Amino acid sequence: MKAVIQRVTKASVTVDGVITGEIGQGFLVLLGVMQGDTEAEMKLLAKKIAEIRIFEDENQKMNLSLDKIDGEVLVVSQFTLCADVSHGRRPSFINSAPPAEANELYEKFCEELRSLGVKKVAQGVFGADMAVELLNDGPVTIIMNTDEWKKGK
């Protein structure tokens, strides 16, 4: 699984002119599900995101996690994170999980964040054409890839 985590002061996602999810301070997570991704990887990624300490403490050090700031998460499915751009000029999405499989892991990922105590987990609409708005805080952007963790990178 791949995720782009952006620290935000607010974020929202709109589908067909209707806001389907919005949050205040926390993370916007763009989530890409790859072929072969498992529940074990999903749980590992959710735990890492719930516990990562990238909010500033009283000394302006990135030392606080979501639970310490009462943070929220907006999760948006994004199969384009799985793009292979190694050949030619047009990306290939062959490494993306099939839609039904990807949606199942996406939904379980959101539930896992909730079970880990994240106050609010808002969502986009899987497979929809979404407009995402955010106010990036910092900016702080972290990329996570469970495949790299398996390789020990």
Q: Is 8 exposed, middle or buried (0-12, 13-18, 19+ CB in 10 A)?
A: buried
* 2-151 topology per CATH: D-tyrosyl-trna(Tyr) Deacylase; Chain: A; (3.50.80)
In this prediction the pTM is: 0.94
Active site annotation includes 78: yes
Active site annotation includes 80: yes
pLDDT digits (tens, 9 = 90+) for 30-40: 999 999 999 99
Q: What CA–CA distance (Å, rounded) separates 14 from 12?
A: 7
Sorting pLDDT into bands at 50, 70 and 90, what band is 150? Answer: confident
Q: Can you tell me the mean pLDDT for 112-127? A: 96
Q: Locate the domains of the chain by residue range.
A: 2-151
Query: Given 78, 109, 123, 146, which residue is catalytic?
Result: 78
Of 140, 122, 145, the C-alpha closest to 19 is: 122
What integer pLDDT is reported at residue 149 of this predicted model?
82
Query: Given 55, 79, 109, 146, which residue is catalytic?
Result: 79
Query: Given 9, 35, 38, 80, which residue is catalytic?
Result: 80
